[in-house]
């Protein structure tokens, strides 16, 4: 498997090599298109000055003069057509056609630098060949000569050029090493992140990344730690949820099993038999309610669930809820009063019915003998307000802070026929409608539940 580090190293090398090639081609092209013509013109001027001096000053020793020119940095070839002499640095290739020599002897100027072939990988400026020269004619002691000249490239490279070349090489090496070290430092946290994800895959949700950076990788590490915290909390809630579900299912099932065993006793009288069947019926209803509420919560937890909003009469729904629970109110000896404005609300009637059912059930279940329940419905300019108030046993401040937790019951002994899911359902459905739930309660002073539903 190719690692990210190896890919980075290979990419860096390819970029450097590619940049070198492109730079070479660009420099070569610039030389052929711009520098070559200027270089040719400059060297033609130098060659003309040399032959002008020879023709006017008429040095006593032409060989000595040309030798001196060769020593100060030129490669020179002088010929009469029959024979020739070289001065200065050696040419790598001394090939030169007789036609070229003949044309210069006849008075033409040879532009070898300008007309040197445009080779792809050899810059003409460095081609140490006799044909890559400037040729001019001159006359000395009434005899025609052809002078071919070019600068000695080896002498052009001074200490400064050597220092600059060394500087470029050192910069290239150090840049490469710096990029490799940077890549290593860059990839190290990604490696840590990969290892941490493997730990998460094995449900080790306490895995945290110790990466403090201000760049994108630091933000990724921070997001990973936040995600880990949420996964850890979700794992805790999942285990707690399973524990609570197991308990709430196991308890009524054990009761049903126990009382069924008691019903098998042939010596039971009718009163005892009736008592046992009533308990079995209650536990069966409790299981049914728990199952329905768990299914509802599962549905509500799905982020893809869409509300089926439709306009309907909210006051009529509340009145129907009151009629549905009339027998429970009479059985518990609880009085109910309501004040409902005529309100048409655009919401999911099916889901909101669960809200009113749970609030009514709690208001009756936790009320006192001869107590009272009040329901108010009022329409505001931007919202609908519902208040359910009872005169029941109430709750402490600590209990009030936990009432929305799933499976939490104010009655710790769980003697009441409840599931601990009702208010969690109320809160979630209300928030799905964009609303809020507020509760006020005090021991022996009852409870108020305010439902705020915004209008669309």
Predicted confidence (pLDDT) per residue in 278-305, tens digit: 888 887 887 787 777 777 777 776 654 5
- Would you say residue 124 has pLDDT above 70? no
- Would you say residue 437 has pLDDT above 90? yes
Do 411 and 329 share a structural domain? yes
Whole-angstrom distance, CA of residue 227 vs CA of residue 220: 10
pLDDT of residue 191: 78
Higher pLDDT, 100 or 200: 100
Do 255 and 152 share a structural domain? no
Q: Residue 175 domain-assigned?
A: no
Do 405 and 351 share a structural domain? yes
- Would you say residue 35 has pLDDT above 90? no
pLDDT of residue 111: 92
Q: Residue 209 domain-assigned?
A: yes
Which SS3 state, helix, strand or coil, does residue 341 take?
coil
Sign of the torsion formed by the C-alpha atoms of 56, 57, 62 and 67? negative
Do 213 and 139 share a structural domain? no
Residue with tokens 């050192």: 170
Do 150 and 197 share a structural domain? no
Whole-angstrom distance, CA of residue 330 vs CA of residue 332: 5
Q: Residue 183 domain-assigned?
A: no
Predicted confidence (pLDDT) per residue in 212-252, tens digit: 777 777 787 788 788 887 887 777 767 766 666 666 667 67
Tell me, letter by letter, the H, E, C secondary structure of 170-206: HHHHHHHHHHHHHHHHHHHHHHHHHHHHHHHHCCCCC
Do 223 and 319 share a structural domain? no
Which SS3 state, helix, strand or coil, does residue 129 take?
strand
Model confidence at 444, pLDDT cuts 50, 70, 90, reads: confident
Residue after which a domain boundary falls, among 114, 140, 156:
156
Q: Residue 168 domain-assigned?
A: no
Do 346 and 311 contact (CB within 8 A), yes or no?
A: yes
pLDDT of residue 284: 85
Q: Which two tokens stand for residue 276?
A: 């046992």
Do 274 and 314 share a structural domain? no
Q: Which one, of 46, 43, 87, 89, lies nearest residue 64 by Cα?
A: 87
Q: Residue 398 domain-assigned?
A: yes
Supply the mean pLDDT for the chain.
83
Do 359 and 448 share a structural domain? yes
* Interior/surface letters 209-242, b for 16+ CB within 10 angstroms, e for the rest: bebeeeeebeebbeebbeebeeebeeeeeeeeee
**Count of Cβ atoms closer than 10 Å to residue 89 Cβ:** 19
Do 208 and 314 share a structural domain? no
pLDDT of residue 52: 93
> Rounded to 10 degrees, what is the CA torsion of 398, 404, 408, 409?
70
Do 446 and 339 share a structural domain? yes
Predicted confidence (pLDDT) per residue in 352-383, tens digit: 988 998 899 889 988 998 999 999 999 999 99
**Count of Cβ atoms closer than 10 Å to residue 5 Cβ:** 16
Whole-angstrom distance, CA of residue 142 vs CA of residue 180: 70
Model confidence at 67, pLDDT cuts 50, 70, 90, reads: very high
Whole-angstrom distance, CA of residue 76 vs CA of residue 45: 15
CATH code where residue 363 lies: 3.30.565.10
Residue after which a domain boundary falls, among 263, 280, 302:
302
Q: Residue 71 domain-assigned?
A: yes
Q: Residue 115 domain-assigned?
A: yes
Q: Residue 162 domain-assigned?
A: no
State the DSSP string of 400-427. Answer: HHHTTSTT--SSTT--SS--S-HHHHHH
Q: Which two tokens stand for residue 417?
A: 């026929």
Residue after which a domain boundary falls, among 109, 138, 156:
156
Model confidence at 265, pLDDT cuts 50, 70, 90, reads: confident
Residue 17: domain span: 4-156
Whole-angstrom distance, CA of residue 273 vs CA of residue 264: 10
Sign of the torsion formed by the C-alpha atoms of 400, 242, 299 and 295? negative
Do 113 and 40 contact (CB within 8 A), yes or no?
A: yes
Do 4 and 98 contact (CB within 8 A), yes or no?
A: no
Higher pLDDT, 4 or 312: 312
Model confidence at 48, pLDDT cuts 50, 70, 90, reads: very high
pLDDT of residue 66: 92
Total domains in the fold of the chain: 3
CATH code where residue 223 lies: 1.10.287.130
Predicted confidence (pLDDT) per residue in 133-176, tens digit: 999 999 998 899 999 999 887 766 655 557 777 788 888 888 87
Do 147 and 79 share a structural domain? yes
Model confidence at 106, pLDDT cuts 50, 70, 90, reads: very high
Whole-angstrom distance, CA of residue 453 vs CA of residue 73: 96
Q: Is 0.75 topped by the overall pTM?
A: no
Do 198 and 127 share a structural domain? no
């Amino acid at each position: 498997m190719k690692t990210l580090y190896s890919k980075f190293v290979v990419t860096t090398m390819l970029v450097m090599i590619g940049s070198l090639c492109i730079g070479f081609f660009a420099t070569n092209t610039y030389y052929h298109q711009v520098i070559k013509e200027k270089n040719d013109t400059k060297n033609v001027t130098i060659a003309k000055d040399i032959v002008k001096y020879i023709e006017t000053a008429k040095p006593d020793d032409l060989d000595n003069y040309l030798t001196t020119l060769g020593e100060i940095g030129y490669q020179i070839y002088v010929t009469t057509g029959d024979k020739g002499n070289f001065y200065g640095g050696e040419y790598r290739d001394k090939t030169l056609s007789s036609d070229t020599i003949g044309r210069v002897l006849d008075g033409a100027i040879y532009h070898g630098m300008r007309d040197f072939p445009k080779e792809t990988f050899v810059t003409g400026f460095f081609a140490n060949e006799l044909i890559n020269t400037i040729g001019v004619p001159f006359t000395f002691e009434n005899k025609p000569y052809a002078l071919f000249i070019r600068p000695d490239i080896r002498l052009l490279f001074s200490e400064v050029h050597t220092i600059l070349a060394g500087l470029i090489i050192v910069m290239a090496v150090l840049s490469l090493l710096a990029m490799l070290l940077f890549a290593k430092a860059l990839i190290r946290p990604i490696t840590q992140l990969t290892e941490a994800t493997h730990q998460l895959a094995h449900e080790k949700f306490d895995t945290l990344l110790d990466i403090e950076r201000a760049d994108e990788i630091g933000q990724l590490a921070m997001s990973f730690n936040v995600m880990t915290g949420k996964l850890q909390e979700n794992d805790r809630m999942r285990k707690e949820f399973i524990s609570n579900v197991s308990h709430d299912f196991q308890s009524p099932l054990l009761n049903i099993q126990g009382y069924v065993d008691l019903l098998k006793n042939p010596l039971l009288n009718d009163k005892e038999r009736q008592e046992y069947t009533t308990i079995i019926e209650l536990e069966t209803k409790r299981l049914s309610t728990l199952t329905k509420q768990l299914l509802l919560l599962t549905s509500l937890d799905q982020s893809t669930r869409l509300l089926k909003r439709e306009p309907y009469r909210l006051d009529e729904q509340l009145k129907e809820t009151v009629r549905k629970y009339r027998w429970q109110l009479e059985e518990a000896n609880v009085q109910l009063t309501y004040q409902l404005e005529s309100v048409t609300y655009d919401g999911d009637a099916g889901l909101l019915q669960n809200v009113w059912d749970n609030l009514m059930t709690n208001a009756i279940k936790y009320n006192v003998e001869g107590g009272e329940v009040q329901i108010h419905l009022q329409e505001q300019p931007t919202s609908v307000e519902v208040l359910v108030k009872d005169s029941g046993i109430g709750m402490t401040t600590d209990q009030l802070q936990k009432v929305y937790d799933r499976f939490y019951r104010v009655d710790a002994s769980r003697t009441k026929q409840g599931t601990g899911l009702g208010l969690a359902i109320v809160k979630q459905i209300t928030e799905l409608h964009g609303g809020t739930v507020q509760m006020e309660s005090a021991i022996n002073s009852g409870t108020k539940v305010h439902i705020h539903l915004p209008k669309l």
